[in-house]
């Protein structure tokens, strides 16, 4: 195991592993968890000693501020096993940096690198049997932090709990995705917390997404809160559009999450000579491109699915279906990225980190 950034951690091992009870061929994403978790508390103005312990529920005061004022943030990452039986993380520094930006935005303490990266490496190393080989198999990593200080006065907590839990995962296939473009509801607003991976961002999406599901759509493409004319994200993912042979995606902002998959796909596209245009695409431009046939592809990008192709979209009661491409750019970029993650191709960017 790489000992870089490794803190002193108390390790309490589970008396018995439950791995033999898990059907790794039939996993529901995010429902099965490994034997251990990392826990580190912040109190009296400083981080305490981390502990890796058996995965289990824990007690929390009913007045904990996470319940009343929503101080909760998280990240999504993965570990992969290559053909040489080595386990790798993918750009964990980017997740840590974004996590700490989220923490700052919600008036929470930043997690030091030795606890976040060092603790993560020790936890994944302990659970390395849960990282199954073969492309498509991975170990999903969920770091999160909640406010555990008690009291219902409306002010930031003074006590927090940082945790990492792990969940084995298989290839995430969402089927044919049809989306509807938001005309009323917003994911985020200028000056808000859209750029943070805050729990409240996701709960606020559930109701409008439920309405979209009832109309036969799997996701919503969110538009800007002020005018609803600029295309921003697709569901919980960043979104890309291919018009002719140019790949377009919105720039990050206070409203748009700085996705690790997003920035990785952009770097790969530029390296492969694909024309990239990072700008706000308007709804009118999208509709016009769909009508004249220059809209070739749309796809979401995120940790769970990596790339999720979009079959068609609806706007103002009109549905536009895309013509399938013989050589889709979405699948080309996904293949390139996953080949780096599984060490099937060279990593020219230095993104992979050995555990």
138 and 191 share one domain = no
Count of domains forming the chain:
2
Together in a domain, 105 and 252: no
Q: How far apart, in whole angstroms, are the C-alpha atoms of residue 169 and residue 166? A: 10
Residues 138 and 223 in one domain: no
Q: Is 129 within the bounds of a domain? A: yes
Please give the Cα distance from 21 to 290 (Å, whole number).
49
Residue 24 neighbours by CB distance under 10 Å: 14
Q: For residue 40, give its domain range.
A: 10-171
Domain assignment of residue 251, yes or no: yes
354 lies in a domain?
no
Q: Are residues 155 and 118 in the same domain?
A: yes
Instruction: Specify the pTM.
Output: 0.95
Q: Are residues 148 and 33 in the same domain?
A: yes
Cα(296)–Cα(251) distance, integer angstroms: 21
Find the CATH number of the domain harbouring 16: 3.30.470.10
Q: Does 211 lie in the same domain as 111?
A: no
In the listed set 146, 171, 196, which residue is the last one of a domain according to the structure? 171
Contact 304, 323 (CB under 8 A): no
**128 and 220 assigned to the same domain:** no
User: Do 157 and 78 share a structural domain?
Assistant: yes
Q: Looking at the domain assignment, is residue 346 inside a domain?
A: no
Which of 145, 171, 197 is the last residue before a domain boundary? 171
CA nearest 305: which of 331, 267, 270? 331
- Does any domain span residue 4? no
Burial of 117 (0-12, 13-18, 19+ CB in 10 A): buried
Collapsing DSSP to helix, strand or coil, 298 comes out as: strand
CB atoms within 10 A of CB 114: 16
Residues 117 and 198 both lie in one domain: no
**Residue 155: how many other CB atoms lie within 10 Å:** 10
pLDDT tens per residue across all 355 residues of the chain: 344 456 789 999 999 999 999 999 999 999 999 999 999 999 999 999 999 999 999 999 999 999 999 999 999 999 999 999 999 999 999 999 999 999 999 999 999 999 999 999 999 999 999 999 999 999 999 999 999 999 999 999 999 999 999 999 998 766 779 999 999 999 999 999 999 999 999 999 999 999 999 999 999 999 999 999 999 999 889 999 999 999 999 999 999 999 999 999 999 999 999 999 999 999 999 999 999 999 999 999 999 889 999 999 999 999 999 999 999 999 999 999 999 999 999 999 999 999 9
| 288 occurs within a structural domain | yes
- Tell me, rounded to whole angstroms, the distance of Cα 353 from its chain centroid: 18
Which of 147, 171, 195 is the last residue in one of the domains? 171
If asked whether residues 230 and 114 sit together in one domain, one would say: no
Does residue 334 fall inside a structural domain? Answer: yes
149 and 186 in a single domain? The answer is no
CA 214/CA 259 separation, integer angstroms = 28
Tell me which residue of 341, 269, 271, 273 sits closest to 299, measured CA to CA: 269
Question: Do residue 42 and residue 124 come from a single domain?
Answer: yes
Q: What is the CATH number of the domain that holds 251?
A: 3.20.10.10
Task: Provide the token pair at 169.
Answer: 């995962």
Q: Is 349 within a domain? A: no
């Amino acid at each position: 195991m790489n000992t870089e950034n490794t803190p002193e951690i108390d390790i309490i091992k589970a008396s018995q592993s439950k791995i033999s009870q898990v059907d790794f061929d039939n996993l529901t994403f995010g429902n099965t968890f490994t034997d251990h978790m990392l826990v580190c508390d912040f109190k009296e103005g400083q981080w305490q000693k981390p502990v890796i312990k058996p995965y289990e529920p824990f007690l929390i005061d009913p007045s904990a501020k996470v319940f009343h004022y929503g101080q909760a943030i998280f990240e999504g990452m993965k570990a992969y096993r290559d053909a040489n039986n080595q386990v790798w993380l993918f750009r964990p520094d980017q997740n840590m940096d974004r996590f700490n930006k989220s923490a700052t935005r919600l008036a929470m303490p930043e997690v030091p690198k030795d606890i976040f990266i060092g603790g993560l490496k020790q936890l994944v190393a302990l659970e390395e049997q849960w990282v199954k080989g073969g492309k498509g198999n991975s170990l999903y990593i969920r770091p999160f932090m909640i406010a555990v200080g008690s009291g219902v006065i409306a002010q930031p907590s003074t006590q927090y709990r940082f945790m990492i839990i792990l969940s084995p995962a298989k290839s995430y296939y969402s089927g044919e995705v049809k989306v509807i473009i938001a005309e009323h509801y917003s994911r985020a607003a200028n000056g808000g917390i859209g750029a943070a991976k805050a729990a409240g961002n996701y709960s606020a999406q559930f109701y409008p997404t439920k309405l979209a599901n009832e109309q036969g759509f799997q996701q919503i493409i969110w538009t800007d809160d002020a005018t609803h004319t600029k295309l921003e994200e697709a569901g919980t993912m960043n979104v890309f559009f291919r018009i002719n042979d140019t790949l377009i995606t919105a720039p990050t902002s206070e409203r748009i999450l700085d996705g690790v998959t997003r920035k990785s796909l952009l770097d790969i596209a530029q390296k492969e000579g694909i024309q990239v245009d990072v700008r706000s695409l308007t709804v009118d431009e999208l509709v016009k491109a769909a009508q004249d046939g220059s809209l070739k592809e749309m796809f979401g990008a995120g940790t769970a699915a990596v790339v999720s192709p979009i079959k068609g979209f609806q706007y103002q009661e009109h549905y536009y279906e895309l013509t399938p491409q013989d050589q889709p750019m979405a699948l080309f970029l996904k293949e390139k990225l996953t080949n780096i993650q599984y060490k099937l191709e060279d990593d020219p960017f230095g993104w992979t980190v050995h555990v």
